[in-house]
Structure 1
Amino acid sequence: MERRVSKFNYTLSLIKYGILEAVAAILMILWLVPLYAMILGGLKSNLEAASSPILLPPSKPSIDAYVFAWFGYATIPGLEPTMLRYLIVVIPSVLLSVIIGTMTAYFFFVLSEKHNILSNTLFSIMALATFLPIETVTFPLIELETSYLNIYNTYIGLIFALMIFYVPTSALLMSIFLPVVPKYLIETARIDGAGDWTILWKVIFPLIFPGFLSTLIFVFLQIWNEFFIPLILTNTPNMLMLPVAARFYTAAYALIYNRSFAAGVISSLVPLVIFIFLGRYFIRGLAALGGGAKGV
């Protein structure tokens, strides 16, 4: 009897595992199909891209659309300079947002030990920024950068604006990872005379590094896909950023299908590469969070 029950449980486990694998495969296919279609569309002629089935391989593959999208032509901006400009903005924005967000999360973590209600109240107010639509602060943001700070249409202005929205996001995410750290380690460091700066970066940070990387990747992907801030805070061709430049291929020139596909692929290259090579660290951070939530 026990043998039959054990065999039944084993069979049931195999069925569950098979279902999970099938669901994972379907989700992966759904995720890859748009990318596959864009890559193929960029290799087709405009006529073939507009008339043939989207998943059908090109009859005569050509990289002309990718060359056009990368270098541009006449009044249509190429994506090469705009991508380089955007990297100049995105990289410091991400690093500063996550580092300052980590320090902010630690501040509220320490404050909660002495004034829990005050900490929760202030942190909740700050966290509201993560849910605040960017469109609602368009005019105050432009007014601040033009009339008071004089950084409108500059790299510093874009970095400043992105940090306004993504420092709270980083702090919110890092505050989830901080409770994973055993409190006795912090108390021991304090007994040994360590200050908060030393405790954060020498004691806590090595333990929450997977969470830091997860937050870094998440914030990078969010900022890279940000369209509205570069749109409203730049107004000259030499400050045109990648998300806005890619719009030229999908809006005013939407009928040029193959170039639209090519521009979409080029715009997606950096986040794709980042996630392919660092995706495992993102998963590790989530796994570390799960372990901390269970008291590990």
Structure 2
Amino acid sequence: MERSVSRGNYIINSIKYALLEIVAGILVIMWLVPLYAMILGGLKSNLEAASTPILLPPSKPSLDAYAFAWFGYATIPGLEPTMLRYLLVAIPSVLLSVIIGTMTAYFFFILSEKHEILSNSLFSIIALATFLPIETVTFPLIELETSLNVYNTYIGLIFAMLIFYVPTSALLMSIFIPVVPKYLIESARMDGAGDWTILWRVVFPLIFPGFLSTLIFVFLQIWNEFFIPLILTNTPNMLMLPVAARFYTAAYALIYNRSFAAGVISSLIPLIIFIFLGRYFIRGLAALGGGAKGV
């Protein structure tokens, strides 16, 4: 009797696992189809890209469209300089946002031990910036950066990114930090360690998966940010990749293969990050689940 029950459970679990694998496979295919179509479209001639089914491989693959999108031609800007410029903005913006956000989350975590209502109230106000549409602060942001003489500069773009993405980082890190056992923090305090030492020597190593996951998430958000570079730059030598790629596609939409190529090029950095760091992002999400239970 027990054998038949265990065998029945084994069959049921096997069926569930197979169904989950099928669903996962379908989702992966759905995610890869647009990328597959863009890559193929960039390898086709414009006529072939416009007249053949989007998933049909090119008859004569060519990298001309990718070369055009990368290097540009005449008055049409290439994506090479805009990508390099945007890396100069995105990398420090992400690092500073997540580091400052981590310190902010830890500050409110410590404050909540003594003044829980005050901590929750102040943090809720700061977290509102996470849900605030950037379009609603267009003119104040432009006026602020103009008054600080940082409009249309790298510093101005980084400053604007910090305004919106430090709260996002703090909100995410505030979910990871409560996972740390409180006795470790108390033990460090008894040994004479200050909050700065406790944060980076005790707390940070334990929440590193969450930190890395937040880092990846914020990077993807900033990399796809369109509105901030659009309103805070106004010269060709400050054109950033998100604006350049979309402007390129909008201005030359009839040149299908070049538009596909521009889309692929602008997606390269996020794709590379997910290929090499995707497993760490998943670990962070797993830690997020644990943090949510600990809140």
TM-score (norm 1): 0.98
State whether structure 2 residue 196 is matched by structure 1 residue 208.
no
CA distance in 2, matches of 1:180, 1:289: 9
- The question of whether the paired residues in 2 share the 8 Å contact of 1:249 and 1:256 is answered with no
Q: Is the 8 A contact 2:175 2:292 kept in 1?
A: no
The 2-side partners of 1:291 and 1:230 are apart by 36
Structure 2 counterpart SS, 1:57: coil
Shift in Å at residue 4 of structure 1? 1.7
Amino acid at match of 1:56: L
Runs of 4+ in 1 over 2 A off after TM superposition: 288-295
Secondary structure, counterpart of 2:233 in structure 1: coil
Contact 1:246/1:263 (CA < 8 Å) preserved in 2? yes
- 2:139 corresponds to 1:139: yes
Counterpart CA distance in 2 for 1:257 and 1:238 is: 26
Aligned equivalents of 1:22 and 1:279: distance in 2?
21
Say whether the 8 Å CA contact 1:68–1:78 is kept in structure 2.
Answer: yes
How big is the shift at 1:292? Answer: 4.6
CA separation in 2, counterparts of 1:227 and 1:292?
A: 31
Residue matched to 2:157: 158
Q: Whole-Å Cα distance in 2 between the matches of residues 62 and 144 of structure 1?
A: 47
Q: Which residue of 1 aligns with 2:99?
A: 99
Residue 72 of structure 1 is matched in structure 2 by 72
Whole-Å separation in 1 of the counterparts to 2:58 and 2:289: 45
> Per the alignment, do residues 25 and 247 of structure 1 end up closer, same or farther by CA in structure 2, a change over 3 Å counting?
same
Number of the residue aligned with 1:124:
124
Q: Which residue of 2 is the match for residue 43 of structure 1?
A: 43
Amino acid at match of 1:41: G
Percent of paired sites with the same residue: 89
Measured in 1, the distance between the counterparts of 2:160 and 2:2 equals 65
- Count of residue pairs the alignment pairs up: 294
CA RMSD of aligned residues (A): 0.9
C-alpha distance in structure 1 between counterparts of 2:248 and 2:38, whole Å: 13
Q: Does structure 1 retain, via aligned residues, the 8 Å contact 2:177–2:291? A: no
**In the alignment, which residue of structure 1 is the partner of 2:14?**
14
Give the match for residue 264 of structure 1.
Answer: 263
- The answer to whether the 8 Å contact 1:221/1:271 transfers is yes
Gaps of 5+ in 2: none
Check conservation: 2:185, 2:198, Cα contact below 8 A.
yes
Deviation at 1:2, TM superposition (A): 2.1
Q: How far is the alpha carbon of 1:259 from its aligned partner?
A: 0.2
Counterpart of 1:122, as a letter, is: L
Does residue 289 (structure 1) correspond to residue 288 (structure 2)? The answer is yes
Residue 111 of structure 2: aligned partner:
111
Aligned match of 2:249: 250
Q: What is the distance in 2 between the residues matched to 1:283 and 1:43?
A: 33
After superposition, the C-alpha distances for 1:128-160 in whole angstroms (9 at most, x for unaligned) are 1101100000000001001x2110000000000
Q: What is residue 5 of structure 1 aligned with on the other side?
A: 5
Q: CA deviation at 1:291?
A: 3.7
Match of 2:168 in 1: 169
After superposition, what is the alpha-carbon deviation per residue over 1:1-55, rounded to whole angstroms, capped at 9, x for unaligned?
Answer: 2222211111110110011000000000000000000000000000000000000
C-alpha separation in 2, matches of 1:248 and 1:111 = 46
Unaligned regions of 5+ residues in structure 1, if any?
Answer: none
Read off the aligned partner of 1:104 and give its amino acid letter: T
- Distance in 2 separating the partners of 1:292 and 1:258: 45
